[in-house]
Structures are given as C-alpha cells and as structure tokens.
Homo-oligomer: A and B are copies of this chain.
Amino acid sequence: MIHRNESLTDMIAALAAGTQTPLSLAKQSLARAAQHADLNAFAALDAGIVMAQAKAANQRRARGEALSPIDGIPIAIKDNYLTKDYPTTACSNAKPLEPTGQDATIVANLRAAGAVIFGKTNMHEWAFGATNTTSNIGPTRNPHNIDHITGGSSGGSGAAVAGGIVSAAFGSDTGGSIRIPSSACGIYGFKPSYGRASRHGVLPLSWSLDAPGPMATSLQDIVHLLPYVLGADPADHSTSGAGTFNEAPAPNTIKVLNLSGPGLERATDVDEAINTALLRSKTDVTQASLSNIDQYLASWEAILHCEASSYHQALMAQEPAGFSSVTRAHLEAGEQIGATELLVAQKIRAQLMPALMNDMPDWNVLVLPTLPVTAPKHGDGWQEFGGRRVTTQDSMTWFCWLGNLAGLPCLTIPVGKSHAGLPIGMMLMGKPSGDEELLAAAKVIDQNIKKAG
C-alpha cells in the first residue's frame, strides 16, 4: 500500500532541477488519490481546481518566477480549515460552510507561496474524537493495513501523506489530532506551541487547546513548511507575541526526560520501540514521572468539553442533526458543567507548566510514546495495555493531551514497526515557544536512530 513517495524536500529539489513540474506532480497526486480511493482520505477533491493551480504554477516556474521553493507542490488540507475554493464540512452532517473567498491564514500563506491546495481531507466529525471512525463520509483506512484505523482527528491528512498521495498535509491538534494519525500512519507530525501558529479560519474544537500544524514524511519537510505556519497574525490574538520561524542550530547536548509511571502505561512492543530508539538516539536520557496525571487529564477534559460546547451551542440548538449522537452527547455533557468546575480546571491547568518546568530534572526534550498501542483494528472498541483497559478513543489521546494542556511544541517521529507491521511513533515535546529548538534536537535524534537502525 505504501508508495516510495518523494518527500516534500525531494519535490523541491526535483522542481528546481526540472525533473518534475507542477503539472507532473499534480497529475501524479491525482492518479494516486484515485488509486488509493479505498483509504477514504478525501472529503473533497476536484481535479479541475487542482489542475488550474498547477498550470498557474507551471507557468510561473517556466518564466523563472517561482513564488517560493514549494511553488507547485500539492498540499492537502484538513476539512476544518476554511478554503476559498472548497466548502468546509468538518465531516459532519451539518449544512456545509460554502466557500466565501476566505482562506484560513495558513492556507492563505501556502497559497501565496504557490502551493497547490490539494483537496480537503477526511477527519473525525468536528474534530471531536481521535479515531477518525466517526465521519459523514465514513472512516479513513490506514495505508499500512486498511483493516486498521488511522486515528484522528486529522486521519485523512495522515492517510494522504502515508499513502503517497501528497508529500505533506495539514491537520489540527487539540489532544493529539495531528500526532495520533501521524504516529499510526508512520509519518512525522508537528503541533506548534500554543500561540505560535494562527488558528484563524480553522474551525475551533477548544480554542485554548487547538493548534494547527503540518504532517509530512521527514523533519526537513516540516522545516520547509514552518515559514508559512509560525508567526503573528492580527486575526488570532493568541499569536500576538509569536515570532516567525527561525531555524535553530543543532544542540551540543540533548537532555531527554523519558516519562513513565501511573497514567502513562503503554503496550510492551511500543515500550520496547521507544527504549530502543532512545538508546540509539545518543542523548542524555533520564527517567522521570509526573504526579497527578489524573487531575491534569480531568482538567483537559473539562476545558475541552466546556469550550467545545460553547462554540457549538448555537448550531446545536438550531441544527441538532448536524451532529452525530456521540458528538451530541459530548456537547450536552459540556453544557452541564458548572462555571466553578471550569475555574478549578483552569487553575489545575495553570499548575502544569510550573510542574514541568520547575519540578523536574533539567531537560530539553520530554519523551513519551505518541500512542500506547499501534493502530487499532476497525471495530475494536477497547484497547488493553500495561494493565489498563480503556476505550479505543481514550487510548488515542492517552499521552497527547498533555502537550495541549501545557501548550508545548510537540513532534511525533516514526521509530519502528510492530511485528504486525504497524508503525510506532515517539513523541518529543519541547519548551513553550521553543519550536525551533525542539526541531533541531529532533533532527539529531532522528538521524542517530536512522544511522543505528
């Protein structure tokens, strides 16, 4: 199922060398999308819209007037980003948001760089779930084994990249929704620090937790994309202090805290893959645990539910059929939470950053598995690992929510496969607004793992 696809970095080189053109890349992506229709990766894909963009890029490149290194490269966009050429559905049954000429800020940035906006990807309905099995167009399927899920909520973006349809795609992440499908599909996914990337034009799930970001087949691909992602946007006040992307040099030493303990259990094969990867990473690894995981998890859940219920309250009253019964139940639960309960959750949240920054040994990178298990089978409602039995939904966000509650930059990198051939991802978390330092450390770790592997 997996193409030996060119990475975004390869495509940049091929376009520069003239061995590929925007037209050849667009045709290749369209052909592969058709070939991999069984992945169900796309909510909307219009060959005419794609080819019109590719032709324009072709003409620019032919004139020697490329707008950027990524001019003419197809990039897929999750269906909760507003795009001026496609409706936006968030894969719900609600009346679609028809295109109004408005792109999400990140889409506008990519388009201004000449990227070919290649369709809207399948997602977990309203991003309120992490399996990608609840979608108005049906579940996505994992390119490594279509009997398995991709995870979500950016599952279509994960399948489109891992299936070789596009070299890069965008997702959004409230409790792991970029990292989960990236890990389950064996690719790289990056959730920026909260406040570094504009959320403008990305439908919110929970505005104080949401972050948009790229998914691709290498860390260098992510580096190529971040100039279009990081930086202040007057339309998103949370980015008012955001710096633009400024690549950091490789660090001399990398202090890794390998987190484990109650609440951070994982399956044996996952644990072994992480430990092997850390051995190979040649970093300075310290074992550490984090107290009160349960209270932080409850804080994340309360904030997510309250903010999601607030955002959807009007539409829930107006068009209840626009939500599946499970999403509706979540939103109704959120409406029942009291304000004083939310304030307690917000206070607990405020304790997490000091706990991570001050109460731990010195660190550059926090490490966890991205998922406690490999991609579950379609239809499996429960997962068992490390003495725990939790719903498949809860297993997907098991580790990832921590990065959202703290607002940290987070990466997932592939570090191997299970005996069944399913990918295993390692999560690396950096310091707040230290997105560049995290990427620089991750490059060293990734290279060392690959050299030793």
Contact = CB atoms under 8 A, between A and B. Distances in A.
A339 B339 CA distance: 4
A340 B310 contact: yes
Contacts of A310: 339-340, 343-344
Given A237-B350, A350-B237, A338 B340 contact: no
Interface string A348-388: 00100000000000000000000000000000000000000
B237 A309 contact: no
A137 interface: no
Contact of A338 (B302, B337, B343): B337
Nearest to A350: B237
A283 interface: no
A306 B350 contact: no
Contacts of A313: 340
A350 B338 CA distance: 21
Contacts of A335: 338, 340
A307 B310 CA distance: 19
A334 interface: yes
Interface in A294-346: 302, 306-307, 309-310, 313, 334-344
Contacts of A344: 310
B350 A339 contact: no
A382 to B, nearest CB: 30
Interface in A229-272: 237
Most-contacted residue by chain B among A310, A335, A339 (CB, 10 A): A339
Most-contacted residue by chain B among A302, A306, A343 (CB, 10 A): A343
Contacts of A306: 339-340, 343
B307 A343 contact: yes
Nearest to A342: B339
Q: How many copies does the complex hold?
A: 2
A157 B340 CA distance: 31
Nearest to A303: B339
Nearest to A341: B339
Contacts of A340: 306, 309-310, 313, 334-335, 337
A343 B204 CA distance: 14
Contacts of A337: 338-340
Contact of A342 (B237, B334, B342): B342
A306 B345 CA distance: 13
A340 B335 CA distance: 6
A237 B363 CA distance: 23
Interface string A105-125: 000000000000000000000
A368 to B, nearest CB: 26
Contacts of A343: 306-307, 310, 342
Contacts of A309: 339-340
A134 B319 CA distance: 48
A245 to B, nearest CB: 24
Contacts of A237: 350
Nearest to A337: B339
Contacts of A341: 339
A336 B336 CA distance: 10
A307 B307 CA distance: 17
A207 B334 CA distance: 24
A335 B344 CA distance: 12
Nearest to A237: B350
A185 B417 CA distance: 76
A307 B338 CA distance: 12
Contacts of A342: 339, 342-343
A44 to B, nearest CB: 31
A306 B343 CA distance: 8
A142 to B, nearest CB: 36
Given A309-B340, A335-B340, A339-B342, 6 more contacts: A302-B339, A306-B339, A334-B339, A336-B338, A338-B339, A339-B341
Interface of A: 237, 302, 306-307, 309-310, 313, 334-344, 350
9 contacts: A306-B339, A306-B343, A307-B343, A309-B340, A310-B344, A338-B338, A338-B339, A342-B342, A342-B343
Q: What 9 pairs across the A-B complex have the smallest Cβ distances?
A: A339-B342, A306-B339, A310-B343, A337-B339, A310-B340, A339-B339, A309-B340, A335-B340, A313-B340
